[in-house]
Amino acid sequence: MKWDGEILGLIAAIYKEAGKQEMYLKQQPEKLERLVEIAKIQSTEASNAIEGIVTTSTRLKQLALEKTTPKNRDEQEIAGYRDVLNTIHESFDVIPITQNYILQLHKILYGHMNNPFAGRTKNVQNYIAATYPDGHSETLFTPLAPYETPKAIDMICEEYNRVIGNNEVEPLIAIPVFIHDFLCIHPFNDGNGRMSRLLTTLLLYRSGFYVGKYISLEAKIAKNKDLYYDALANAQIGWHEGNDDATSFIKYLLGTILAAYKDFEDRFALVQDNLSALETVRRATMQKIGRFTKQDIRELCPSLSVSSIETALHKLVSLKELNREGVGRAIKYYRTK
């Protein structure tokens, strides 16, 4: 296929940002370790929340950082996601893209549960459906049948490895195409969406794009999940007949990756200088438009403690640089100029 200017522009911009990130990491790697911890928490939370799997923010942080034992089914699933993410972070370079390894990652995903189909492809037909406000449901897409699934997974892995190994296709195009095919196959009884996001991170790491280590791609997808589902639905049209066009999903995923790189640059700007806590928070607030929360500032200032951020925000309010509204957890801020 020939790719349009928008896709080529996104690819060029991502390579530019990836080069800048590599330079930043060489300059002050130790100051960026806090970004890794925050991204891990956000990725674990967001990818599970997309599927309706949730817990409290306190428990989430403990689970993501392996400081507690899961108490219920949701927490078991969250802990499993954390385990796969850690495996990818630590060993991505020795995890080949094959069906066997994908099944092993799926088994780890359900490692805290008694799931007989963990690490096994589906045994019943699944459907991608939507439920509307009036209560009726509609099947949007029918994935492959169970008996077709193992061969299909082998095929997309073999084809991906071939085009990447021979430098036939740009990785930033091959990766979203692989993920799109994976989601169309929908190989598991459960966990397909979360596995697709974990595999996205794995494929990006293996091709030298490490932004997901510092900025959560899953959080960006969750924030605009309607766009994610729309892009995927458009790309799935005609897939069974081989007439599909993955362009919409490629553009969506590339746009998400580029946005994450932009966020990384913003956050690096706040940790590269030896600024006071007050000045760091002041600069962080200057990056926000409209209302924002303490948590928004925490994400931009990973090197600061919660108490330091709270003190700085209080000072900026007293200096009339910020306005504060609401009480308790509903407190929000906005700039006065």
Higher pLDDT, 260 or 267: 260
For residue 165, give both structure tokens.
């190994």
Average pLDDT over residues 131-159: 93
Is-contact 92 206, C-beta < 8 A? yes
Nearest to 212 by CA among 269, 259, 153: 259
Q: Does domain 5-270 have CATH number 1.10.3290.10?
A: yes
Report which secondary-structure segment, H or E, holds 176. Answer: helix 171-185
Report which secondary-structure segment, H or E, holds 334. Answer: strand 332-335
- Comma-separated ranges of CATH 1.10.10.10 domains in the chain: 277-335
Question: What CATH architecture is 277-335?
Answer: Orthogonal Bundle (1.10)
- Dihedral of CA atoms 282, 283, 285, 286 in degrees, nearest 10, equals 120
Q: Measured between alpha carbons, how far is residue 112 from residues 51, 62, 126, 130, 136 in Å?
A: 18, 16, 24, 29, 34
**Chain segment 104-137, per-residue pLDDT in tens:** 999 999 999 999 999 999 999 999 988 778 888 8
pLDDT-derived band at 272, boundaries 50, 70, 90? low
Query: Torsions phi, psi of 284, nearest 5?
Result: -65, -40
Q: What angle do CA 193, 48, 81 make, to 5 degrees?
A: 85
Q: What angle do CA 249, 25, 62 make, to 5 degrees?
A: 70
| DSSP assignment letter at 292 | B
Average pLDDT over residues 179-190: 98
Rounded CA-CA distance 90/135 in Å is: 44
Has residue 162 got a pLDDT over 80?
Answer: yes
- Dihedral of CA atoms 58, 60, 61, 67 in degrees, nearest 10, equals 100
